[in-house]
Amino acid sequence: MALRIISYNLRKHAAGHELEDIAKTYDADALCLQECDSEMLAPRLHDLQLADATRANRLGLAVYVRDERYEVLDTQVFAVHKSIHDRVLAPANERLLAALLRDKDSGERVLVGSFHAAPLTASNSLRRKQIAAAHEGMRSLAPETPAIMVGDFNYPWFIRGLERHLTTAGYTLNRSDEPTYLRYKFFTGYFDFVTSTGFEVEHVDVLPAGASDHRAIRFDAELAA
């Protein structure tokens, strides 16, 4: 069983108008969004149905799923540790939207999560706590189920340290060969990652730049043997 997943930070929904073309062009099984406006999301994008979206978070999360192939068994939003940025500007502790899916042909169940970590004003230590809490949230939704979490991790430096923490927790980190954050000419970085358990991800592709300051990532995830 393999899933093709795309993850895209829309930059406060600035790239929302690109979603229909992305759904048509790249043949994804799941589309995970960050910084979207839930009130502006279409209920359907080509072959993808909106599984769920956050509503309390000013920088929303959403997951679309190919409903011809997958049944959405459950969805849940998880709050994680708040950064100072969250406390001062607006509540934004809903940083994971997880969906439990069942393959209609094989009956296999998988977890897919759209994640958005605290911005660079927070410490890497806090982001590691957020990532760990998000993983625990997914596990609580469906223990022992293969899980894959994608999104904007806001973690451009000291990646090896993050990888060590994830490996200890039983997760693998994958990222693209090209930078995904392009807002400033003098500063680009690798912000958009894939973490998984029970999956194998060989390569993460970066899609062409659009209206967002992030480039979308696309990858195929195979259930581990």
CATH number for position 167: 3.60.10.10
Give yes or no for a contact between 216 and 206, defined as CB atoms under 8 angstroms apart.
yes
Residues 6 or more apart whose CB falls under 8 angstroms from that of 21 comprise none
Confidence at residue 86, expressed as pLDDT on a 0 to 100 scale: 57
Given this model, what pLDDT does residue 206 score? 97
Specify the 3-state DSSP secondary structure of 97.
Answer: strand
Q: Tell whether the model's pLDDT for residue 2 goes beyond 50.
A: yes
What is the model's pTM?
0.94
Round to the nearest angstrom and report the end-to-end CA distance of the chain.
Answer: 10
Mean pLDDT, the chain, rounded, equals 92
Residue ranges making up the domain that contains 105? 2-223
Say if CB 37 and CB 60 are below 8 A apart. yes
Q: pLDDT tens for residues 148-204?
A: 999 999 998 888 999 999 999 999 999 999 999 987 666 678 999 999 999 999 999
Encode pLDDT of 68-94 as tens digits. 999 999 999 998 866 555 554 555 568
- What domain count does the chain have? 1
Please, what is the angle between helix 124-141 and helix 159-168, to 10°? 30
